[in-house]
Amino acid sequence: MSDPLIIAGREFRSRLFLGTAGYPNRKIMLDSVTASGTEMVTAAIRRISLAGDDESLIDVLGERVRFLPNTAGCQTAKDAVLTAELAREALDTNWIKLEVIGDRELLYPDVEELVRATQMLVAKGFVVLPYCTEDPVTCRKLADAGAAAVMPMGSPIGSGLGISNPHLIELVCARSPVPVVLDAGIGTASDAALAMELGCVAVLINTAISKARDPVLMASSMRAAVEAGRLSRLAGRIAKRSHAEPSSPQFGLVGT
């Protein structure tokens, strides 16, 4: 079945995006990328060696996947825009995962600065994918500001709590005029499958894979979960009932 994901005119076969931080070593990270089948990975621009004095993430991943730099660590729209411009100049890409954090402990987005940064970056020709709260109003404002997709959190970054409010994620998906990619909070494969069943077009995962006991095996698990969740969404689940309904006919039973 042909079911490509399209964001800003770019087509992806895989609906699983990967972060690259926190792996035990680079080999395990590379093996996990391969096992996941992903076509796009993300990393903070400050983690990428641009000096040419050692092998950077771009050197080892550039031929395998598309690279999505992010503005992790930025707390103002101004800083995020400057970071994105640095990434575009250094990496020759106008795609950016936009993060503007309002609380360093909670790692919650600053919505006001996030919308402002989105507007500024879109005006500068960037394809913006903002990390945001699971709020339909915020997601709509970001889409109105020109975001190519929105990336609401399932739960706090790195928490592994899964999707804390499935109803809100489903609302965001139902009402968003742009693709919805679940970002943050995934803990295990069933969380990824649920995100897809709720209507997300893709899932971005980092910690659940990089900190797993076997990251490569978990990457394979997440790949299967995202594919299964997408197929389940397309197939359509049965309606929930408050009572049993037999799947076999009731006529012709012994004694009747």
16-36 confidence digits (pLDDT tens): 999 988 999 999 999 999 999
Lowest-confidence segment of 22-26, 85-89, 134-138, 247-251 by average pLDDT? 247-251
Beta bridge pairs of residue 225: none
pTM (2 d.p.): 0.89
pLDDT of residue 226: 97
Lowest-confidence segment of 51-55, 172-176, 178-182, 227-231 by average pLDDT? 51-55
**How many whole angstroms separate alpha carbon 213 and alpha carbon 44?**
24
Mean pLDDT of 170-188: 95
Question: Which residue in the list 27, 78, 97, 141 is annotated as catalytic?
Answer: 97
CATH level 3 topology of 5-235: TIM Barrel (3.20.20)
| Higher per-residue confidence, 229 vs 103 | 229
How would DSSP label each residue in 146-215? Answer: T-SSBEE-SSSTT-----S-HHHHHHHHHH-SS-BEEES---SHHHHHHHHHTT-SEEEESHHHHTSSSH
pLDDT of residue 53: 40
Query: What is the overall mean pLDDT for the chain?
Result: 89
**How many whole angstroms separate alpha carbon 154 and alpha carbon 170?**
11
Q: pLDDT tens for residues 118-134? A: 999 999 999 999 999 99
Token pair, residue 114, equals 């996030």
Q: What is the DSSP letter of 16?
A: E
User: Is 141 a catalytic site residue?
Assistant: no
